[in-house]
Amino acid sequence: MKAFQVSRYSKKDKLVLTELPEPTVEDNEVLVQIHATAINLLDSLIRNGDFKIFLPYKPPFTNGHDMAGVIIKVGASVSKFRVGDEVYARPSDYHIGTFAQLIAVSENDLALKPKNISMEEASSIPLVGLTSWQALVEIANVKKGQKVFIQAGSGGVGTFAIQLAKHLGAFVATTTSSANTHLVKSLGADLVIDYKKEDFSKILKDYDLVLHSNRDNKILHQSLQILKQGGTLVSLTGPPTSEFAKKIGLGWPFQFIMSLLSMSVKRFAKKLNVNFEFLFMRSDGYQLSQITSLIEAGKIRPVIDRVFPFEQTNEAISYVETGRTKGKVVVKVQ
């Protein structure tokens, strides 16, 4: 099979198109013929080596975190899926590799693809869908009438999270450029702030939840200040916390390092009587099946910017790295 691999950690090197043997299928796995995959900034961060302190992949390895396709083989103990099923997934850490024609995936990471969308649309969902679900449902338990601020509303996570927050009954504020105002309003945003002209921290107050995705430390502190007492900020960009390190099984030296990294922001949050949470999403087939139900019910729709052919995977990554995409960028594999 063909696959795009990271040959070494580097910000400058392109992924290398490589010929590899068919993946081995363990008893609890299925072999999926990938029809489409999607690009995430996480793919660039993994390639760059930014996360190798807690996700130490050994090059060469196949990159990619989203996929939709058809099962062509099942392991001996698989009970929830069969050959021919159309599925989608964000494979678990250390089992990534969706920039390829085939992948072996644990049945616990899989869900049936929504029947009312295409393979390309389905491939755009898992990572951003699970990120949004784990932030809004699992961590924040958003309820009807609460106020949610979602940064970068026209991005991959933003376009999904706005729709999920509205489904949960929240009042949703978001930031985007004026060019994308119509898009985020069509997804359900109640209040749209043009980040090029307006300061969200002077407009918003007493919010229950902030979904934070900006790397600027000043923006992080401003975001904490718009929360009501007892409110929660879920950050997708860090700093990582000792609780996160413990959760993913890192030893005490890493827990100590991450407690130092997050000490300042956690102290500031405590002073404001608000909560700071770092989220590095995990694969979860059950949660993804819940998302499937919402998509099939018409509550959430995929938002795709562009579709690239498989041979142009590197070009697709470069396009996402510009930071100007609306929704997700997809690669058609089959």
CA distance 286 to 303: 22
Q: Is the pLDDT of residue 215 over 90?
A: no
Reported as a single tens digit per residue, the pLDDT across 305-333 is 999 999 999 999 999 999 989 999 999 99
Domain residue ranges in the chain: 2-124+302-332, 127-278
Q: Between 3.40.50.1110, 3.40.50.720, 3.40.228.10, 3.40.1190.20, what CATH number should domain 127-278 receive? A: 3.40.50.720
∠ CA 323-329-333 to the nearest 5 degrees? 145
User: Within 10 A of 16 (CB to CB), how many other CB atoms are there?
Assistant: 14
Q: Is the pLDDT of residue 248 over 90?
A: no
- pTM greater than the 0.85 cutoff: yes
Q: Is the pLDDT of residue 35 over 90?
A: yes
Q: Is the pLDDT of residue 254 over 90?
A: no
* Architecture field, domain 2-124+302-332: Alpha-Beta Complex (3.90)
Q: Is the pLDDT of residue 64 over 90?
A: yes
Q: What is the 3-state secondary structure (H, E, C) of 50-100?
A: CCCCCCCCCCCEECCCCEEEEEEEECCCCCCCCCCCEEEECCCCCCCCCCE
pLDDT value at residue 183: 98
Confidence of residue 83 (pLDDT cuts 50, 70, 90): very high
pLDDT value at residue 250: 86
Reported as a single tens digit per residue, the pLDDT across 158-173 is 999 999 999 999 999 9
Q: Is the pLDDT of residue 72 over 90?
A: yes
CA distance 299 to 319: 29
